[in-house]
Structure 1
Amino acid sequence: MASNNEHKHDPNVLHPHISPTSMYLKVAAALFALTILTVVAHHFHVQLGAFAGPIAFGIAAVKATLVLLYFMHLKDDNNMNRAIFASGFFFLVVLLLFSVIDIATRVVETSPL
């Protein structure tokens, strides 16, 4: 029989699937900072002009990436789950691309009235 000493948990050993609390606090602080940056960027949207949208989407993409990697544990997950998430974003880009092409190629119609 195995002795009880073999089954004791050593609190000094860090297991790869267990993330330390400090990491979650750092990621949460980064998300709060990016949220504040989003609010600041919104206040300067007139000065940013055409760059306001891409800047907002860029900040949102960084926040979504942090959530996916750390809170949804994709950082420590296998490559199949990463591929599934990446394919979802790929098809989102395809959908947006088709929408942009549709809007850009529309013919302006004038009313005969």
Structure 2
Amino acid sequence: MDSGEQHLSSYASLALVLAALLALTGLTVAMSYVDLGRFNVPLTLAIAGTKVSLVLLYFMHLRYENRAVVYSFLGTIGFLAIMISFTFWDVAFR
């Protein structure tokens, strides 16, 4: 099956990632009470992207995968960014 080596993360590093995720969630909730005009959506998407990256890298162990998996993930994120930008562009120029 899997002849690769096992990667174990320390409880301290996982606790730091959890603390960062909780802080970013608090920041997301705080952002819902602040009106920054047109910067609300991009800032909220940046916070959400950071949280997704932390989960993928540390809890799903993407940082230990080979380059093909990482490039596949980055390509997927790039494609998603293009599709979201097309949606924003369509709504902005109606």
TM bucket normalised to smaller: 0.7 to 0.9
* Aligned CA distance change for structure 1 residues 55 and 82 (closer, same or farther; 3 Å): same
1:50-100 residue CA offsets vs partner (Å, 9 max, x unmatched): 111111011101101101111110112211110111111121122223334
Q: 1:52 and 1:97 mapped to 2: Cα distance?
A: 15
Q: Which is higher, the Rg of structure 1 or of structure 2?
A: 1
Q: 2:43 and 2:69 mapped to 1: Cα distance?
A: 28
* In the alignment, structure 1 residue 78 sits paired with structure 2 residue 66: yes
**Distance apart, 1:101 and its partner CA:** 4.3
**Mind listing any 5+ residue stretches in structure 2 that lack a counterpart?**
none
**Distance apart, 1:105 and its partner CA:** 5.4
Q: Which has the higher contact order (CA 8 A, sep 6+)?
A: 2
TM superposition score normalised by structure 2: 0.82
Report the count of equivalent residues: 90
CA RMSD of aligned residues (A): 1.9
Q: 1:72 and 1:95 mapped to 2: Cα distance?
A: 25
**Mind listing any 5+ residue stretches in structure 1 that lack a counterpart?**
1-14, 107-113
